[in-house]
Amino acid sequence: MNYDRFASLLVNYCLDVQPKQTISVNADIVAIELVEEIYKYILISGAYPQIDLSNSIFTELFYEHANKDQLEHVSPISIFKTKNIDSTISIRSQTNTKALSNICTDKQQKRMNALKDLNQEISHKRWVLTLFPTTGYAQDAGMSLRDFTSFVSNALFLNKSDPVLSWKKLSENQEKYIEKIKHSEKVQIKSNEIDISFCIQNRNWINSDGKQNMPSGEIYTTPIEDSLNGYYYSSLSNSKYNKEINGVYIEFKNGNIVKIKAEKNEEYLVKLLETDEGAKTIGEFGIGLNYGINKPINNILFDEKIGGTVHIALGQSHEKTGGKNKSGIHLDLIADLNKDSEIIFDNKIFYKNGKFVL
């Protein structure tokens, strides 16, 4: 992997770092080679780097031994830091992605609730989230570390001589799609496993072109919260909250979940949706448009961007879309629409079998 090119992309394209800004960089120690290059580019930009390196074992030890008070405690140092930084680069770099699989769900829910306000504060600043290839992620993807690193490079366009130019082209294409559908009021998704409709009147579409998630390549909005009707099946796995959830089927009536089941870890899914009241409400509808990501790897940062997929998310909505829902979770449920499918905007088919047809 070209760490120099990766770091330049994050600092100069994703965050557009300016002189005298304070930039927080959070990563596991395993990602030190990338962090060193990021540190260099932040300094070249005339900004102030704040590096926070950790080890994933600390998270495992925390959940294993923390009492209720510690789970609900939010460090005043973290609060001060969040209020005084300009931007954040967060690098997912776990060596063991299953480290928390046996941790009690109640503990994780308490922690998510405790950090809800802090995460809201972070979301109001400039930020970018990315991933550093590790053996843990490679195993989840069913690949060797060498092949997985190549996969990540391709998804981020680091294999291109000018990654920024590639991201700008993707952004332009996505903006064309948004222009065609942004005034739509009603959406219907139909496939062999999905028949769901909802309203998006007066909601904003966001062009996710790598400025926050890297990789990215999606457009998304938030449906009117009480407008969902029909059924939806997510055929791709989600391990965001440390346990794999697979084969999720949901029925909605006027925005309420009237039936939900999963082929894997259904009990955990139901428990996760008890995190708070907002966890049971829609927070996002997105369309994946990164055709450089050509298969799922059981990692939501990549899988929700796969060209030819859509996703709905339960939980926290994105304020820029006009969404109203608040929650400590944001659970993306991805569906493959590459075959026998269509998305209808105001009674007109704009998307068929995995691609826009404008």
Q: What is the pLDDT of residues 231-245, one digit of tens each?
A: 999 988 888 777 889
Q: Which CATH class is domain 3-132?
A: alpha beta
The Cα–Cα gap between 112 and 272 comes to: 11
Task: Give percent above pLDDT 70 in the chain.
Answer: 100
Residue 200 has φ and ψ, to the nearest 5°, of: -130, 20
Distance separating alpha carbons of residues 14 and 7, to the nearest angstrom: 10
pLDDT average, residue stretch 353-358: 91
| Angle subtended at Cα 157 by Cα 152 and Cα 159, rounded to the nearest 5 degrees | 85
91-100, 122-131, 206-215, 292-301: which has the highest mean pLDDT?
Answer: 206-215
The answer to which of 36-45, 98-107, 173-182 has the lowest mean pLDDT is: 98-107
Q: What's the pLDDT at 100?
A: 80
pLDDT for 158 equals 95
The DSSP symbol for 277 reads G
Per-residue pLDDT reduced to its tens digit, 310-343:
999 999 998 899 999 999 889 999 999 999 999 9
Rounded-to-integer distance, Cα 216 and Cα 236, Å = 18
Average pLDDT rounded to a whole number, residues 113-129: 88
354: left (phi over 0), alpha (psi -120 to 50) or beta: left
For residues 252-278, give the mean pLDDT.
91
The pLDDT value recorded for residue 188 is 97
Q: Indicate the range of 188-202, 219-233, 260-274 predicted with least confidence.
A: 260-274
**Tokens coding 97:** 């992605």
E strand or H helix that includes residue 313? strand 309-315
What's the confidence (pLDDT) of residue 98?
Answer: 82
The domain ranges of the chain are: 3-132, 166-356
The gap between the terminal CA atoms of the chain, to the nearest Å, is 37
As a whole number of angstroms, the distance between CA 39 and CA 50 comes to: 9
CB burial readout 282-309, b (16+ within 10 A) else e: bbbbbbbbbebbeebbbbbbbbbbbbbb
